[in-house]
Chains A and B, each alone.
Chain A
Amino acid sequence: MSKAQIMNGNELVSEAAIAAGCRFYAGYPITPSSEIPEHLSKRMPEVGGVFVQFEDEIASCMAAVGASYAGYKSMTASSGPGISLKQEAIGLACMMELPLVVVNVMRGGPSTGLPTRVSQADLMQARWGTHGDHMIIAVAPETLLETYTETIRAFNMAEKYRTPVYILTDAVLAHLNGRVELPDPSTLEIIDRTQPSVPPEEYNPYDVERFGEVPPLPNKENFHDYRFHMTGLNKDKTGFPTVNKEAVEADEERMITKITGNIKDIESFEYYKMDDAQLVIFAYGTNAAAARVAVDEAREAGIKAGMFRPITVWPFPEKQVAEIGKNFDKMIVSEINLGQMLYEVERATKGNIEISTVLQAAGVPIRPQQILDKMKEVL
């Protein structure tokens, strides 16, 4: 069924969103993510979905939250400065527990930074960009095909856990045109929010006792018949505001544990040539491609290198990295920033492993040779 096509990362995110059932896109133009709205402005009407280019990034993300409330699978996309503006709406989606997919095509920063150049400097923004205690899911694909499959997985997790999910790509992946063979749509696993099985008068959007830790949420077909209230204030099971200490505490904790408690389902990572490795590279996103080439070249040169690659970058693969810390002697953390996931790696490995770095924030990809040189230096 599959057929070779040439597509770039931005087009793949867009097509995967449609395949995942996304029927609402709201956005605002910004480099290097603009091909996503360009593509979806053409495609959404074709599939009967909604596309609106809003007046700003804030409105775009709020609209995506509104559409999700109204039962639609929704997405917005942007890059650094735009993602900064979307933060309040992402926090609202966390609090209202609404599925939402946010694409961040990472570029250099802070501020306007390097609009057309690659970076991975928004990892911590993805984790902690919006205020307040909250948990976030974020995925970072390495290749074009994975950009497609991870976008589908992002929608599935957003729906399943009623939560915002980030897709972190970057300027290279966004504009990289390459050969892809997309999976047959009928083979894709598509998850939709569970639907209330109770009559409308008995439905409450946060009734955990009755429905479990992720209560059902009406889809677009059921939205009309199920009337309920939602607010950005801390809420009780009915969706109305509360300041009750016990209720707030339980709700705040559940909003985190509904994700961390299902980590087995959410986590995704790759061990590449790790079995006999003397040295482990920690890399993710497009930078993992450079690390992979470096590992292969190192092995040709007789260096037993391996790579650990988180695909779900948030929640951080705490356990796996801690294990690596115990079982290996040396690690190189490489990322296209000045050290962000490095903090998490250091925290998780608790001083059990010697850590070196290949970091770069220059608007250009880290080359395999740079990682290879570092391997030779540390061994």
Chain B
Amino acid sequence: MATDYSKYLRMEKLPLYWCPGCGNGTILKAMITAIDELGWQNDDIMMVSGIGCSSRATGYVDFHTIHTLHGRAVPVATAIKMCHPDMHVIVFSGDGDSTAIGGNHFIHACRRNIDLTVIIVDNWIYGMTGGQYSPLTPTGTKASTMPRGNIDPNFDIAELAKGAGATFVARSSVADPMILKNYIKKGLSHKGMSVIDALSNCHIQWGRRNKYGDPVKLVDLIKERTVTKAKAAKMSEEELKGKYVTGILYEDTAKKEYTQAYKELVEKAQNE
């Protein structure tokens, strides 16, 4: 059955503020479709964002929404989840927001394994502020603050999240919206910290500086750069250079979730 998007969107806030062809819309649609398939009610969903193009998403969805400060969505989401453990708490964030200025908060939420779903719109650039390089801007490519090509190595968000203690880690891209939707759905259902690295196209701020100003061409590039986990297993290290491995990359259902651990602590304190 087709999704009735009007149930989840604040229709009066449309059209979206994003550039035509932006991957943000695709990822937002994947998230809404996943929520619809899960049958969740708007009142039960809390969506938190920081600052950046993708962070404006909280204005469009008809859930509980809070548009916070740059990098700070995760501690706000952590607090709300601690206050209302029964609510579904989603963070919608950019690569700069979550791994640069918010990097410390991000890894510590992973470590706690608190039941948040963090969807990272990974478009390799700071879009809103004008194309400055982020920790995910591919090395060698141009940005407004790397006019001669980026000399910084990148984070691997999935490895970072896994290493820090997140218990559900997946990666997909706007080139595979159905698969992306499935991963988001699995992440939403997972009890614990779930991280979805959603590769996206910023053909304006990254693309135009790197000969990918056309959104279709850039989505094709993303498609080219992604390889499934199964395929990657058969590839050499050399062949995997510059590629993004997609799939459900890590899943652990044994580690205790943080609000559960806190609930047990409260019980212990009250029975002393």
Interface of A toward B, CB cutoff 8 Å: 24, 26, 42, 45-46, 48, 50, 52, 54-56, 58-60, 62-67, 69-72, 74, 88-89, 92, 220, 223-225, 227-233, 240-241
Contacts and interface: CB of A to CB of B under 8 A. Distances in A.
The interface residues of chain B, by DSSP majority, are classed as helix
Nearest to A227: B64
A44 to B, nearest CB: 8
B59 A240 contact: yes
Given A67-B80, A70-B79, A224-B87, A48 B270 contact: yes
Interface in B72-100: 72, 74-80, 82-84, 87
A223 B81 CA distance: 13
A31 to B, nearest CB: 21
- Interface size on B, as a range, is 35 or more
A241 B10 CA distance: 14
Contact of A229 (B42, B58, B105, B270): B58
B21 to A, nearest CB: 24
A58 B72 CA distance: 8
Contacts of B75: 26, 54, 58-60, 62-63, 66
Interface of B: 13, 42-44, 48, 51, 58-59, 62-69, 72, 74-80, 82-84, 87, 104-105, 108, 262, 265-266, 268-270, 272
A220 B48 CA distance: 17
Contacts of B80: 66-67, 69-70
Contacts of B13: 240
B42 A232 contact: no
Given A24-B79, A58-B72, A224-B84, A69 B108 contact: no
Name the 5 nearest CB pairs between A and B, nearest first. Answer: A66-B76, A66-B79, A45-B269, A59-B75, A63-B79
11 contacts: A24-B82, A45-B265, A45-B269, A54-B78, A71-B83, A92-B68, A220-B83, A220-B84, A224-B43, A224-B84, A229-B66
B108 A55 contact: yes
Nearest to A58: B72
B71 to A, nearest CB: 8
Between B42, B63, B83, B87, the greatest number of chain A beta carbons within 10 A of the residue's beta carbon is seen for B83
A366 B20 CA distance: 65
A223 B84 contact: yes
Contact of A92 (B42, B63, B69, B83): B69
